[in-house]
Structure 1
Amino acid sequence: MAVNELNPCARFARENVILAGIWQGKGKPPFNTFIGSFCKLMNDLYDTGITEKLNGEETTVKLKVICGIYDLPAKAAILNMTQYNGSDSCITCEEPGKTVKQGKGTSRCFPYRETAEKYPNRNQAGVKLAMERGTERNRIKGFKGTSPLLDLKNFDIVSGTPPDYMHGVLLGVTKTLLYKWFSSTESKKEYFIGDKVKLISKRLNSIKPPESMERLPRDLEKNYTHFKATELQAWLIYYGIPCVEGILPNKYLEHFACLAEGVYFLLGDKISKNDLQRAHILLDAFFRNFSNLYPAGSCGLNVHNIGMHMVEYVRVLGPLWSWSCFPFEDCNSMITKTVHGTGDVTKQVMKIKEAQALLRNNLPLIFKGKNWKNLKPVANCEIAGAITEVPKDENTNFILEELGLSDTSCIKKVDRVIMVMLNGKKMYSGSYTRMKRRICNTFLTKRGIACSVKYFIFHEQTQLIFALVIPLYLTEYRIGELRAGKYLFTSTACDKCKLLLVNELEENLWYIDPKVNGKIFIAKMPNSYGHSVFK
């Protein structure tokens, strides 16, 4: 469980995610018993709460479950309903789907329907009635019995059970599209570009992501079938369009761009009504055209959720990152690493969790991660690394003129700085030569100008740090009638440099260079929380 009232970076930190229950057995737990115990505990916390001393006074804090997030098989088990490939398996609406031929067998698809043909949305009362009437042999609207979640106080099963972004969009639809494009079994299809996979992989490996993206690009031909969710997210939003442009037929590229831009808006930390409307238009178009471009059997529940429901859940619950499985899967992976042997593994897990808590409380510096050392505080930031002579090149006279100096005796060159006013944000310049596989020197200024930092300049008299930057002219990327992909920009560098106070640099941009005809793409991150949220 994650505590919603914590700020996002702290909310999903491993030490703050609560391990509420653990199961050991040969199979899955009996969900009615397991989740039922959890609901009883949460009901007690909702009614009586926890009494703690805050500012010297005893205060009662009550807790409420806002939503639960699961992959599709777990959702079916917890809600006691039909699996994702069965009739009436959508928890949000009463769409039954239909059976279509696929390969040598059949598959259940969820076709796009016009407004007048759409099935109604579910509600708490209707779900409760269907659950109470349904049995294993006689399912009512997809339900085969009651779920313990019905007993959870002040919890709405429909609005509190959103489709998971990580499993549905990334490991589901995005991975399916990769398979369609590159798998040899699809070689006779119009969208097949597997014969160009080496070229696309070469473009991908030319891209150098910023520091906020932990995983570096991998060879596409060897690894696309087992990409991690973080890699699929980077492919969807940043890598995909630049890598397949000019190779994937335009109608498929436009279709993919609708998904990419729609998801990009829903990942934002500040989502306006216009953003939601734009995302709705794009994802609706993605859903509408899916069965026209790809086999109907591939248009499953994940595509249905993306096109029909995801925007509304963002409207109710907030951006996708605030209720995805990413942080919880991260904690699951940490739990599995603590297990050794085949005995009572629950004791092993709890001992490790206790040890970690004790270490964090008594030795907090151990968990701060890798930090820069020997920092030199100056007026507007802190300097990291060596302070060297300013190079004498075509920019020297410009720098002296801007600073009103006659020579370079009182200015020095700096490669890295830390912005204390921006929560210790690390900033790199292009002159930092140890940064080989990443590009971290592209920024957006407070005035909305994109630029690339050549190096930082330390003015010894004023103790201020300036940035020598190359402004970048940006042009919106767009494709098709919907002008999809507008969150990406193509970039052209300005001929003349500018000198800015380092305080003017606000956020890092992605500099995407697939090495194709000198075409550079620039993109903003959809949210400002970095790797702690945007995996």
Structure 2
Amino acid sequence: MYKKLCEPGEPLSDPKNVSVTINTDGLALGESSTQAAWPLFMDINELSPQTRKKYLIYAGMWVGRKQPNMNIFLKPFVNDLKKLANDGFAWKDSNGVEQRSKVIPILAVLDSGAQYKFLNLTSFSGYMGCTFCYQRAENTQRGRRFTVCKEPAALRTQESMLVDVQIAHERRNNRNTKERVYRGCKGLTPLVYLHPYLNLGSGVVVDFMHNALLGVTRAHVFALLNTAGAPYYLGDPEKSYVMNQRLMQIRPPRSITRTPRELTHIQKYTADITGKRYSFHVQCNQSILIGKSTTHHLSAEDLECLRILGVDFLEETVYSYSRMVDRKVRLTTKGYSEGKKNDDSWVKTGDGRRGFIKPITTF
């Protein structure tokens, strides 16, 4: 979308025009407060990431006990943004010459809870609650879920979303409330008036934090650490001790503000910590249990990501402790107290040997 808008004759081909990304999310005003605030911001995409954070545009605020009615909240904002996109605003340069710049909205970065409200769709727990495709959810033993389908579902596009909005808007007075919803669309959203700049299908970014970091990644980590008796279980004391030793030896760069924490605090891991799980996997788990047991439920993309990071996969067997010692580390015969004093990691190898591994080894 951005490249297309930068082509000759398009709005962003003029260097005086800028594009923006819309962002909003709810936050509690206090631990005991019943009030919540929804600030509305815009990022100027043409600025560098560092400068962009410094010069956020504050565009609105909703405060109340209930979540905002997006049609009311967004209407004045969309009206002003539409004028900025079509007519622009005037300003004078250093020579006193009047210039005119346009502001083009091209993206909306929202979490899963705000996406369906922005687009006026049914929630992600609804039958057609996906904001990116038309897959229908099914009722399972664990509740309503998007199950694996044989054929990929059709994607939501700008054209299909405009049709859905129109049909749902025509059904708004239907006595049966369920029949008012058409393919997950509940009715009109003010964002349609930002057409053709903001694409309702591809202009809303995937919620990576909740879907990937706090969703799939968190579930994967918990499966490895909490499913006692499974062939891929890593939560027994011996393996946990080794992983904690390696985890606490990681020294991230200054750009990573949160340092690694022990696995005993995993329930308090936030998204940025959970997101480092693949790097932790390579640093802490590779030589303990990497192979068929830990990879049978990963996608091809996940496996390729781990291969790029340097994980050595085995075809048929898991990485035993004996192979770890033979291929990755040096097993010492120091006494237990001496090894503990040097903060080395204690292991029991697959062939019954016991000893310590040197933490200076790169995994």
| TM-score for the superposition, normalised by structure 1 | 0.46
Distance 1:159-1:149 versus aligned 2 partners, 3 A rule? same
Does residue 140 (structure 1) correspond to residue 182 (structure 2)? The answer is: yes
Greater than 6 Å deviation, 4+ residue runs: 261-264, 513-517
Match for 1:182 among 220, 225, 248?
225
Deviation sequence 1:257-276 (CA, Å, 0-9, x none): 95557679xxxxxxxxxxxx
Q: Where do 5+ consecutive residues of structure 1 fail to align?
A: 265-277, 283-474, 482-489, 493-512, 522-535
What amino acid sits opposite 2:362 in the alignment? Answer: I
CA distance in 2, matches of 1:247, 1:86: 41
Does residue 228 (structure 1) correspond to residue 270 (structure 2)? The answer is: yes
Counterpart for residue 162 of structure 1: 205
Counterpart for residue 285 of structure 2: 244
Counterpart for residue 147 of structure 2: 110
Distance 1:86-1:201 versus aligned 2 partners, 3 A rule? farther
CA distance in 2, matches of 1:181, 1:70: 30
Distance 1:31-1:213 versus aligned 2 partners, 3 A rule? same
Distance 1:224-1:165 versus aligned 2 partners, 3 A rule? same
CA distance in 1, matches of 2:136, 2:358: 45
What SS does structure 2 have at the residue aligned with 1:119?
coil
Counterpart for residue 313 of structure 2: 479
Q: 1 or 2 for the larger relative contact order (CA 8 Å, sep ≥6)?
A: 1
Does residue 124 (structure 1) correspond to residue 158 (structure 2)? The answer is: yes
Counterpart for residue 24 of structure 1: 63
- Tell me, yes or no, if the aligned pair for 1:43 and 1:153 is still in contact at 8 Å: no
Deviation sequence 1:334-358 (CA, Å, 0-9, x none): xxxxxxxxxxxxxxxxxxxxxxxxx
Within-5 A mapping of 1:389-404: none
Counterpart for residue 44 of structure 2: 3
Counterpart for residue 208 of structure 1: 251
Does residue 50 (structure 1) correspond to residue 100 (structure 2)? The answer is: no
Counterpart for residue 519 of structure 1: 361
What SS does structure 2 have at the residue aligned with 1:60?
strand
What amino acid sits opposite 1:137 in the alignment? Answer: K
Aligned residues: 273
CA distance in 1, matches of 2:108, 2:164: 20
CA distance in 2, matches of 1:261, 1:18: 40
Within-5 A mapping of 1:286-301: none
CA distance in 1, matches of 2:299, 2:248: 21
What amino acid sits opposite 1:179 in the alignment? Answer: F
**1:246 Cα deviation after fit:** 3.7
- Tell me, yes or no, if the aligned pair for 1:97 and 1:111 is still in contact at 8 Å: no
What SS does structure 1 have at the residue aligned with 2:163?
helix
- Tell me, yes or no, if the aligned pair for 1:88 and 1:141 is still in contact at 8 Å: yes
What amino acid sits opposite 1:89 in the alignment? Answer: G
Counterpart for residue 119 of structure 2: 79
Determine what percentage of the aligned residue pairs are the same residue. Answer: 27
Does residue 93 (structure 1) correspond to residue 123 (structure 2)? The answer is: no
Distance 1:198-1:41 versus aligned 2 partners, 3 A rule? farther
Deviation sequence 1:497-528 (CA, Å, 0-9, x none): xxxxxxxxxxxxxxxx997675315xxxxxxx
What SS does structure 1 have at the residue aligned with 2:51?
helix
Match for 2:99 among 55, 59, 62?
59
| TM-score for the superposition, normalised by structure 2 | 0.66
What amino acid sits opposite 1:28 in the alignment? Answer: Q
